[in-house]
A and B are shown apart, each in its own frame.
Chain A
Amino acid sequence: MTETRLSPAPGAAPPVRRTSALGTAGNLLRSEWTKLRSVRSTVWTLLITVVIMIGAAALAASATSGGDGNGMPTADRVLLGASFAQLAIVALGVLTISAEYRTGMIRTTFTAAPRRAGVLAAKAAVFAGTVLVTGLVAAFGAFFIGQAILGGKGLELSLGQPEAVRAVVGAALYLTVTGLIGLGLGTLIRHTAGAITTAVALLFILPPLVAALPGEWGQTFSRYFLSNAGSRVMVTRVNEDLLGPWAGFGVYCLWCAVIAAAGLVLLRRRDV
């Protein structure tokens, strides 16, 4: 192997074609897609998400004997798996970047692409696209399984019911933004365990505690707090005490943007 030669020699090398800014964005997206698809944890986590969503829908539909209020079961009854699946998705979001810190791959990544904001944007875009597609498959899968089981009992569940399509698509959107919050926390905290613990606290532990805050301002704060706001988009019933579906989802996106922005500031400033 000592006869190894490199070709072409620098003198003979053809003029190097420099990539445009747009080309760079495309290159980073391709690179991040290769990274995401080439580790097993991605495939497993996405598979678990689909299984949880569909399994929970089947269980919920089987346990249903009557409808809500007006006698008809609603879409959100078969979407309850999303609140469990979000744990898998948020962990995947964290790992998308924290695994690079754990293994040291982040140094290789930033050596290859020193514009760190671009790397994070490409990671977020590829991850969001993947989770959105998986979320849609899982949510519609859950809906149709639920529909079939309920239909066998003579109960009707259809996409034609008010707000049904919005709730099903909303579940996929909610999972996507939840995953991005994981990515933001992973960027901010860099350690897998620390970031996942923080995510669990923010999404599972604090929302019910915040809801118990006393007084008017406590209720207001609770309405706007992370998943309390974000989960409205996958609920069909309108609750006057809480935010509307899209307002709630908008607030959830803002939370995500703030976490991501904080992560980005530190990402650009830190030594790696």
Chain B
Amino acid sequence: MTTIHVNDLTKVYGRTTAVAGLSFTVRPGMVTGFLGPNGAGKSTTMRVILGLDRPTSGTVLVDGKPYRELRDPLRTVGALIDAKAVHGGRSAHDHLLCLAQSNGIPARRVREVLAMVGLTEVARRRVGGFSLGMGQRLGIAAALLGDPPVLMFDEPVNGLDPEGILWIRTFMRSLAAEGRTVFVSSHLMSEMAQTADHLIVIGRGRVLADLPMEAFIQGSARAHVLVRSPRAAELATMLTGQGAGVDPAGDGLRVTGLTAARIGELACAAGLALHELADQRPTLEAAYMDLTKDSVEYEAVAS
């Protein structure tokens, strides 16, 4: 299967280090979310994967090869990096045709992808007059030309209306369900929550987390169980003895390291009454904010 391997990637522009020692693998059959605040290095990483920018050090392999060594790369990787990166004077059909021809893809495929994204009726219109959503669809059509096993989308829902967002989301899920490698960047956690199976979170050019979505939520420092008991002191001692972390929180206890079920069983066995036992699963947004709060490039200074 086709994977993307990023190995110890560093990219420096002048005096700015965009990414520093990034390593991760993007696997097939799922949507991998590439998440980070603006300026974290997501677009840089994607440009390096596509051979547009040269790494300062480190390697990036797609299907085991550097991108520049792929023959007919559109048959391996389809990418939507910047939907506005088209010549406005060219028709949608001609734009896709010149891309198809460069990779030996038959012209019939151009009509197919135009139909897939619903642009058949405007195929002969010049791209300059397209709306943002139409431009985005054209970019996706271009990515699909070579029927590639790997797809990359940089901030695909930016500026789209709700209908367009839903469409792209469903589309990415179906691509992954077909066994393709789908790599999507976003700075919005809420967007990833709807789409991604796996998360790679970066901040200031470094990997902060690389794990399945579920583990990301569970692993957050905010995942804990809130317990209230009339005999809180005894309960705290008992739970600490079981290896849990216990902190006072208001009139209750904030317990980490044990599941709610286990705490209930332990309290019952010890004969301690519980007035409240609540699993506190943080929202994805909160977990993300926790993780990236130290790595936001331009943070508002609180006075």
Taking Cβ atoms with an 8 Å cutoff, the residues of A that contact B are: 1-2, 4-6, 8-11, 13, 16-19, 23-24, 27-28, 30-32, 34-35, 38-41, 99-100, 103-115, 269, 271-272
Contact = CB atoms under 8 A, between A and B. Distances in A.
B101 interface: yes
A6 B53 CA distance: 30
B110 to A, nearest CB: 11
Contact of A105 (B77, B85, B116): B85
Interface stretch (B30-38, B166-174, B259-267): B166-174
B54 A111 contact: no
A112 B73 contact: yes
Interface stretch (B90-98, B185-193, B215-223, B290-298): B90-98
A34 B97 CA distance: 7
A41 B89 contact: yes
17 contacts: A1-B167, A2-B170, A2-B171, A10-B178, A17-B104, A35-B87, A99-B87, A100-B87, A103-B85, A104-B84, A108-B99, A108-B142, A109-B102, A114-B68, A114-B73, A115-B68, A271-B47
Most buried by A among B54, B71, B75, B116: B71
A111 B71 contact: no
Contacts of B99: 31, 108, 112
Contacts of A5: 174
A113 B105 CA distance: 13
A34 B98 contact: yes
> Which interface class (under 10, 10 to 19, 20 to 34, 35 or more) fits B?
35 or more
Contact of B53 (A9, A19, A115, A271): A271
A19 B106 CA distance: 13
A39 B86 CA distance: 12
Contact of B87 (A39, A110, A271): A39
A100 B88 CA distance: 10
B245 to A, nearest CB: 45
B52 interface: yes
A19 B101 contact: no
B257 interface: no
Contacts of A35: 87, 90, 98
A9 B179 contact: yes
Interface in B229-244: none
B22 interface: no
Given A104-B85, A107-B85, A27 B103 contact: yes
A27 B74 CA distance: 13
Contact of B147 (A13, A103, A113): A13
A75 to B, nearest CB: 37
A10 B147 CA distance: 8
Given A104-B82, A114-B73, A9 B178 contact: yes
Contacts of A100: 87
B2 to A, nearest CB: 8
B89 A40 contact: yes
Given A4-B171, A105-B85, A114 B70 contact: yes
Most buried by B among A4, A39, A111: A111
A9 B175 CA distance: 9
Contacts of A13: 147
B85 A38 contact: no
Contacts of A103: 84-88
A40 B88 CA distance: 11
A10 B181 CA distance: 11
B54 A271 contact: yes
Contacts of A24: 71-72, 104
Contact of A4 (B53, B174, B180): B174
B67 A114 contact: yes
Given A103-B84, A109-B102, A114-B51, 4 more contacts: A10-B178, A30-B101, A30-B102, A105-B87
Contacts of A39: 87, 89-90
Contact of A38 (B77, B90, B179): B90
A105 B86 contact: yes
Contacts of B103: 19, 27, 112-113
B219 to A, nearest CB: 32
B160 to A, nearest CB: 13
Contacts of B47: 107, 271
B82 A111 contact: no
Contacts of A108: 85-86, 99, 142
Contacts of A18: 71-72
Contact of B75 (A6, A16, A104, A106): A16
A111 B73 contact: yes
Contacts of B174: 4-6
